Amino acid sequence: MSSVDIADELAYLDDVAVYQRLAAARQSVGRDLLRDPVTLARGLDPTYRMRPHLRIIGDALADVGRGACDRLLILTPPQVGKSTTVAEWFPFWWLATYSSDRVAATSYSDDLALRRGKAIRSYVEEYGDEYDLRMKAGSGAMQDWEVTDGGGVRSVSVGKGLTGHSVNLLIVDDPHKDRADAESEASRRALHDWYSSTALKRLQPDRNAVVAIMTRWHPDDFAGRRLAEEGRWEDGGRWRVIHLPAIADPKFGPDPLGRAPGDPLPHPKIPTRDRRALLAWWADMKKTSIVRDWHALAQGDPQPAEGALVSEELLRLIRDTSTKVEPQKIAVAIDPSGGGRDVAGVIGGFLGDDGRVWITDDVSGAMSSSDWSMAACRLAHRSDAAVIFVEWNYGRDMCELAIRTSWETLQREGEIPAGVLMPQIAPVRAKQGKLLRAEPVAQQMVQDKVRLRGVFTDLEREWSTWMPTDPDSPGRIDASTILVYGLIPEANKGAIVHAPLPQSPTTGTQRQPPRSASPYERRVGR
């Protein structure tokens, strides 16, 4: 062999060694990407946008793959990257991990399910070699295809298409088409029957899991029925739930992202640190949604419409931003947080010269006593309120002290001018249960004695969904009830009583409250 031949042979061997090393490195990287579906998507697709909530979802999906749980329910608002992650990348990750398993990708329509199946297939065709995944020869059907190791994907709509097919992983992606479908008792019954009588019966004993991802529509939708029948993981039930509302709310328990109440959910197309843009995005969604849709779709908290004290239609009818009316008495009403509830109701409004109560402001929220008293004082100053009504069932002295302290603090900090007198504090005490207190106010709405000076999504939602049997005590209903009773005493009928004035410790006579300045006096600082 000549020296030239020897050199060529050595060069060839070097090329082979380099190729082998590169192939081994690629394989190592590829295996590292199998940590979870989100890591896989991020490593293979440069357009995949990572966000904190997707990391939470990815970790939960990996737990399913490892057998840590076999039922996972993911609840998020629409368009936050959940379906791409769960219904497309997760099945590919599953096949790369268990290449002989069968995956069923289901949704409310054949078209949507087929689209998911095509996306999974495209990942196999583009990236499968790194994971020893190859399409089986002759597997040309888009609805039902296989890989050489025997695994594959079947894509069908819920309610059909699984009889005779084995399933290791069942993906249920948005099983309800829309509100009308979810509110149809017949449609819900058909979905529940399909799941229990057909889908579950196709699961295999060696390895099986169900992952459902959806936005909520109805208390008895797919998610509602599963939780009612099988329970939550933390309560000893079967379903692990990842609930990610658009705006964090303590009523749902600890937030998976560790968000504080009021914090927004990230969005794939908005930088995570741009809190202002995220809040604006969700605020716009809230503004353009009806009350029920916002709380069902965005917050994952559907409520029944039947049996509520006030209908959504009535609340829409009493919205009025154009009628000219002269305020006769302006007030702020507070239902402090307490009694096991974290949301404080702080509602503002006035009695108009037309004899109606006009609700103008809702600054309620999950607040401590210092927070709700500050919010109430700011609202009272901004609206020129003459009186602050406050329910004192959970401590009259504490409520009064909190309001006075907050007013003094705001004056000391210059937010309220020093010469502006504090409105009168009028403590009231509820003598009757919520239903007996709220019903007369609901009747005032029916009789057109109460109007809304705008759209108050959260307030309207409480009025249109709260049931007398509900264990919670919505603060906005309580605060708006106190406001109406304070401004229209004849509507009261004994549901609340004004607290007696405290006794003077020296004379034993009742102390008079400080005189409340008129709006003019407060404006000019007298």
How many whole angstroms separate alpha carbon 346 and alpha carbon 331?
11
User: What is residue 437's three-state secondary structure?
Assistant: helix
Task: Kindly report the pTM of this predicted structure.
Answer: 0.63
Nearest to 102 by CA among 33, 195, 204, 199: 204
How many whole angstroms separate alpha carbon 229 and alpha carbon 219?
13
In this model, does residue 124 exceed pLDDT 90? yes
**414 pairs with which residues across the strands?**
none
How many whole angstroms separate alpha carbon 289 and alpha carbon 455?
11
The reported pLDDT for the residue numbered 508 is 44
**349 pairs with which residues across the strands?**
331, 359
Nearest to 296 by CA among 214, 233, 364: 214
How many whole angstroms separate alpha carbon 252 and alpha carbon 275?
21
Mean of pLDDT values over 136-153: 87
Confidence of residue 20 (pLDDT cuts 50, 70, 90): low
Radius of gyration of the chain (CA): 30
* CA angle at 462 for the pair 435 and 452, rounded to the nearest 5°: 100
CATH 1.10.1580.10 fits 312-524, yes or no: no
The reported pLDDT for the residue numbered 263 is 95
pLDDT in tens, 27-79: 544 568 999 999 999 999 999 989 999 999 999 999 999 999 999 999 999 98
- Dmax over CA atoms of the chain, in Å, equals 124
The reported pLDDT for the residue numbered 526 is 31
Lowest mean pLDDT, pick from 83-97, 124-138, 321-335, 423-437: 423-437
Query: Which CA distances in Å does 491 have to 144, 286, 440, 484, 495?
Result: 66, 32, 7, 8, 9
Lowest mean pLDDT, pick from 85-89, 184-188, 256-260, 497-501: 497-501
How many whole angstroms separate alpha carbon 304 and alpha carbon 464?
9
In Å, how far from its chain's centre is CA 257?
13
How many whole angstroms separate alpha carbon 467 and alpha carbon 212?
29
- Sequence-separated (6 or more) residues with CB below 8 Å from residue 401: none
Direct distance between the N- and C-terminal alpha carbons of the chain, in angstroms, rounded to an integer:
111
The reported pLDDT for the residue numbered 505 is 43
3-state secondary structure 200-265: HHHECCCCCEEEEEECCCCCCCHHHHHHHHHCEHHHCCCEEEEECCCECCHHHCCCCCCCCCCCEC
How many whole angstroms separate alpha carbon 67 and alpha carbon 207?
8
CATH 3.40.50.300 fits 37-287, yes or no: yes
pLDDT in tens, 428-473: 876 666 667 788 888 888 889 999 999 998 899 888 877 765 656 6
Structure token digits, residue 47 = 């357009």
How many whole angstroms separate alpha carbon 177 and alpha carbon 390?
45
DSSP tag of 513: P
How many whole angstroms separate alpha carbon 245 and alpha carbon 276?
17
Structure token digits, residue 471 = 């264990």
How many whole angstroms separate alpha carbon 258 and alpha carbon 506?
52
The reported pLDDT for the residue numbered 513 is 42
